[in-house]
Amino acid sequence: MKFIKSIYFNIKKYSFLLKQLVSRDFKVKYKRSALGILWSVLYPVLMMLVMGFVFSNFFKASMPGVSYLAYLLIGLVLFNYFSDATNQSMSSIVSNFSLINKMYIPKYIFPLSKCLFATLNFMITLIPLYLIIFITGTGINFYHLLLPYVILCLFMFSLGVSFLLSAIAVFLRDMYYIYGIIILMWTYLTPIMYNFAIIPEKLQTIFKINPMYQFVNFAREIILYGRMPSTISFVACFVAGTVMLIFGSFVFKKVQDKFIYYI
């Protein structure tokens, strides 16, 4: 917990550095891109259109009572945020070894900056999400005000996983390839493209252990169905985010002094 508190207090102290790192990532990502930042808006829409066409026409996927496109895009946007944040953070320590070797900088600043950058991109992707919500007639309701809660929980979860991955990647470079397989499996274990109801009842409890299910389901409850998520859903999102942040921070703090010998 002390490590998490130090992160909180050092954010203000190193706010300029954080802004520079996020700004650098932003410029690098869209450098020499004809559409630039528009890709953050177009990419989830294009993915939704392709996947929506494939699953609705070939696999006959549908969601009774709600728009399948809105259902699909909510899952895609949230999971892509988690995937982008963790994938970018994983190499953050190794790719910044020159800075780490030259001066003292809290090492957690680097995975934190990647998560903040991914969060900035995520905020942009909310634009096409809400466009689809309006186009499909899903509409806006009072419960949308709870969206920041699930975003905060997902941010904590993503940051915790990012601390863990960035630490492991210093000692095990194969982690880049291993995580690619893990994230692919994780995608299919999360009901992004399919209706959760098709899963056999005996297996549903196992699927609900998946934290990404809890985040995606929470967002769908408030956006698609316009209702208050259950108390269990509130608690599950908070516990998943908090526990992963504490665990990831603990591992990162435990091994960070050894980074210098491996990068």
pLDDT tens, position by position, 117-129: 899 889 988 888 8
Highest mean pLDDT of the ranges 4-13, 51-60, 179-188: 179-188
Q: How would residue 242 be classed by pLDDT, with cut points 50, 70 and 90?
A: very high
Structural domain harbouring 29: 2-257
Average pLDDT over the chain reads 85
**Is residue 262 situated within a structural domain?**
no
Q: Give the total number of structural domains in the chain.
A: 1
**Is residue 125 situated within a structural domain?**
yes
**Is residue 263 situated within a structural domain?**
no
Q: What is the pLDDT of residue 197?
A: 84
CA dihedral 31, 32, 34, 36 (to 10 degrees): 0
Q: What is the pLDDT of residue 18?
A: 82
Rounded to the nearest 10 degrees, the angle between the axes of helix 147-171 and helix 211-223 is: 160
* Helix (H), strand (E) at residue 117: helix 109-135
Is pLDDT of 247 > 70?
yes
**Is residue 144 situated within a structural domain?**
yes
pLDDT single digits (tens) 87-141: 999 999 988 887 777 777 888 899 999 999 899 889 988 888 888 888 887 778 8
**Is residue 138 situated within a structural domain?**
yes
Contact criterion met (CB below 8 Å) for 244 and 214 = no
In angstroms, what is the C-alpha Rg of the chain? 19
